[in-house]
Structure 1
Amino acid sequence: MKTGFLTAAGLAAALVLSGCGGKDDVQGKTGEDITAKSSAKDIGEAYINEMTRIADALEGVDDEASAKSAAKKIKVAVDGLNQMSEELDGEISGVKGMQIFGGRYAELVQVQGRIATSMIRIQSEHPELMDTISAEMDRMEN
């Protein structure tokens, strides 16, 4: 089992695109909307939306029931991110990355910070819940 801190650090540092999802709780593009022909704007929107879905799920974790619920939501987001990565062949050049995130860098940093903060909070306040959450988080492709 990976520690919660390693998972949080790995996820917060993950800039490699992945993805698919569902629109159940997301406004705008999700990973399932992305194809190899998608614009940089759409890819960035989908990536940030899927990461926001993860952050939102993690912020509500405070007991076993909420951890299980969050794991289901994280699964959808990670599936979206992984599908997106496969669609884009897992490769985003430095220039393409700048196009995707250049104008949304502050948003990206904010959502990654939310994820890292939540993972650290859960690890310190509810370490017994980390297995439930980490199982889905660890599925994110690099």
Structure 2
Amino acid sequence: MQFVSVRVITDDVARLVEFYERATGIPARWATAQFAELVGPACTLAIGATATTALFAGAAVPAANESAILEFLVDDVDAEFQRLADLEVVQEPTTMPWGNRSLLLRDPDGNLVNLFTPVTPQARARLSAR
């Protein structure tokens, strides 16, 4: 099995795509006005309109996430903090006990977004083992 994608459902696809394009630097690939993907080297972030939930028995509810965090590996968390300072910052760059330096943002729908850089030898080793 291969984990390839995370899909976020939203009432405003264009707004969410704009946020993630800016935060990640990855241009979106639009399939339709209701569905776009940001294809990264390890995983794809898919963004779908609320109307697409009908295809999944209406199981997804937009802007209702309070448990998942979308995480993106970056070269320099502090530089990203400076670049994205006008976005909703939940937590400024902080070095976590497990060795990642982390910047926590909130996207326009309220989903948590973690930009992180491994800064300790153990954290770098964990990442390189993948």
TM-score (norm 2): 0.27
Q: Higher strand proportion, which one?
A: 2
Larger radius of gyration: 2
Q: Higher helix proportion, which one?
A: 1
Which structure has the higher relative contact order (CA within 8 Å, separation 6+)?
1
TM-score (norm 1): 0.25
